[in-house]
Amino acid sequence: MNDPTEDPVWRLHREALERVPASPPQPPAPYTIPYTQLPEGHPDSPTATEWNFYRRTVGRLLAEGHEGKWLLIRGEEIVGIWATLAEADAVRQERFLGQPVLLKQILAQEPILRIGYNRLCRN
């Protein structure tokens, strides 16, 4: 048994290495919905007007190539579009501090945010 390929320990080691994937598994993609299926804003929300305006204009903004940029909406008016959140937020703080505005990234696929649930702990 001088040949290491015949040794059962070496054979098992080689087989185990062959089963290891070349790259680590990717995390699952977040749940998303297309922008065409965005729900209407709740009437009691302070930004319902801005949200509904965004829903109506997001298709045009995507067609113009603004995906990934940040949008600031006040009422039914686009205040501006910026490349980064920091730039858009600086304008929001300077001009609209304390006022209801919508600061939103323009996305074709909107992430679905899951905020957990209450669970009773019975001891």
pLDDT at residue 123 above 60? no
pTM over 0.85: no
| pLDDT single digits (tens) 59-115 | 999 999 999 999 999 999 999 999 999 999 999 999 999 999 999 999 999 998 777
Is residue 119 within 8 Å of residue 89, measured between CB atoms? Answer: no
Q: Give the mean pLDDT of 2-8.
A: 69
Q: Residue 10: its pLDDT value, please?
A: 85
For the chain, domain boundaries = 32-111
Q: Residue 117: its pLDDT value, please?
A: 62
Buried b (16+ CB within 10 A) or exposed e, 4-31: eeeeeeeeeeeeeeeeeeeeeeeeeeee
Is residue 118 within 8 Å of residue 111, measured between CB atoms? Answer: no
Is residue 20 within 8 Å of residue 98, measured between CB atoms? Answer: no
pLDDT at residue 118 above 80? no
| pLDDT single digits (tens) 23-72 | 777 777 778 999 999 999 999 999 999 999 999 999 999 999 999 999 99
Is residue 88 within 8 Å of residue 70, measured between CB atoms? Answer: yes
- 3-state SS, residue 71: strand
